[in-house]
Structure 1
Amino acid sequence: MDNLNTLTRNQIDDARASAHGRSAHLFLHDGPLRQTVIALTAGSALDEHNAPPAASLQVLRGRVRLTGGGHEELTVGQVTALPHERHGLLALEDSAVLLTAVTEVPHRARGAAAPAAARG
Structure 2
Amino acid sequence: MDDLTALARRHLNQAKDDPHGRSAHLFVHSGPLRQSVIALLAGTTLQEHNAPPASSLQVLHGHVRLTSAAGEQQDLIAGQVQELPPERHSLLAVEDSAVLLTAVTATTGCPTPSE
> Normalization by structure 1: what TM-score?
0.87
Change (3 A) 1:45 1:105: same
Q: Tell me the percent identity.
A: 61
Moved over 4 A (4+): 107-110
Kindly state the Cα deviation for residue 90 of structure 1 after the two structures are TM-superposed: 0.1
Counterpart check, 1:18 vs 2:22: no
What is the CA–CA distance in structure 2 between the aligned matches of 1:45 and 1:36, rounded to whole Å?
17
Given residue 32 of structure 1, which amino acid in structure 2 is its aligned partner? P
Counterpart check, 1:83 vs 2:81: no
Kindly state the Cα deviation for residue 26 of structure 1 after the two structures are TM-superposed: 0.3
Structure 2 unaligned residues grouped into runs of 5+:
none
Kindly state the Cα deviation for residue 2 of structure 1 after the two structures are TM-superposed: 1.2
Change (3 A) 1:72 1:108: same
CA deviations over 1:61-102 (Å, ceiling 9, x no partner): 000000123100000100001122100100000000000000
Relative to total residues, which structure has the larger helix share, 1 or 2? 1
Counterpart check, 1:93 vs 2:88: no
1:51-90, aligned counterparts within 5 Å?
A: 51-68=51-68, 69=70, 70-90=72-92
Given residue 39 of structure 1, which amino acid in structure 2 is its aligned partner? A
Relative to total residues, which structure has the larger strand share, 1 or 2? 2
CA RMSD of aligned residues (A): 1.3
Change (3 A) 1:108 1:75: closer
Structure 1 unaligned residues grouped into runs of 5+:
111-120
1:103 counterpart residue number: 105
Given residue 107 of structure 2, which amino acid in structure 1 is its aligned partner? V
2:35 counterpart residue number: 35
What is the CA–CA distance in structure 2 between the aligned matches of 1:9 and 1:91, rounded to whole Å?
15
| Greater Cα shift, 38-47 or 98-107 | 98-107
